[in-house]
Chain A
């Protein structure tokens, strides 16, 4: 059952435009493409899938067809999408083209979710797992990377200048 709808809100919080044509199901995390035309989002319906919504044409298409897929994110150049996909009790970090083709598994974990955050390029990357965050910038061995910052989670974001990150720290929801 859907608990909300997506809308463009004005700076004062008013609804300016209701976005239409979504399939039934609950929304997951969504991210705008760098050019702000497309939005990639998870929708929980028959299964958890990744969808791409065109804000100009108001159309949507599904780009995953297997596994339980979550937490998609555009690369800073808008050419690829990273996402997590859980199959048979293991969660893979995948990437695919912005059109949903050429899926490639980059790493696989026991965690139930995987999330990444990018700086100016995919080479500047934070890897978030169940139990903390690793600075995976330039890291080739994502599966062997040591996870630190156990009290830091829930969606870090990086500035494109690669100098600052914004994270949630602690159990009191401090930003």
Chain B
């Protein structure tokens, strides 16, 4: 996070092992970001200029790549709107092929 007017030279690092697509919570007290299929939250509280807390992992999320951040904080109960990966609803049927079955059974 960097002070405005944008001063990247005085930016402070929020993530530890890596992170991308950050955004603020609606109340401006948290920073969310993602890394390695996981959602993280850094709870800054009221003292944004104070010491930065270690980010906490919220949950894992199967990532769907889109051009930009693929989630957004929503509502007041910690919800998100996000792009979810499509998973097949039913198992994919398998077909077993036995070549020359009649010949080999003789």
A: residues with CB less than 8 A from B are: 2-13, 15-16, 18-19, 26-32, 36, 39, 42, 70-71, 113, 115, 119, 124, 126, 133, 135, 137, 148-149, 152, 154-169, 172-175
| A-B contact sample (13 more), CB < 8 A, given A159-B24, A167-B22 | A8-B80, A9-B84, A11-B77, A27-B83, A152-B8, A160-B28, A164-B3, A166-B31, A167-B6, A167-B11, A168-B19, A173-B20, A175-B33
Question: Which of B1, B64, B79, B81 makes the CB contact (< 8 A) with A164?
Answer: B1
A11 to chain B, nearest CB (A): 3
Q: Which has the most chain B C-beta neighbours within 10 Å: A19, A32, A166?
A: A166
Contact B58 A4 (CB under 8 A): no
Q: Is B66 in contact with chain A by the CB < 8 A criterion? A: yes
Q: Are B31 and A29 in contact (CB under 8 A)?
A: no
Q: How far is the CA of A39 from the CA of B73 in the complex (A)?
A: 12
The contact sample of 27 A-B pairs, CB cut-off 8 A, is: A4-B84, A8-B80, A11-B58, A11-B79, A15-B84, A27-B83, A28-B67, A29-B68, A30-B72, A32-B72, A39-B81, A70-B67, A71-B68, A137-B5, A157-B22, A159-B24, A160-B28, A164-B4, A165-B3, A166-B1, A167-B2, A167-B22, A172-B18, A173-B18, A173-B20, A174-B13, A175-B33
Instruction: Assess the A5–B84 pair: CB atoms within 8 A.
Output: yes
Scan residues 9-45 of chain B and give those whose CB is less than 8 A from a CB of chain A.
11, 13-15, 18-24, 28, 31, 33, 35, 39
Q: B79 near A8 (CB under 8 angstroms)?
A: yes
Which residue of the partner chain B has the closest CB to A158? B4
Taking the closest CB of chain B, its distance from the CB of A110, in whole angstroms, is 19
> CB-CB < 8 A to B88: which residues of A?
none
Indicate if the CB atoms of A164 and B35 lie closer than 8 Å: no
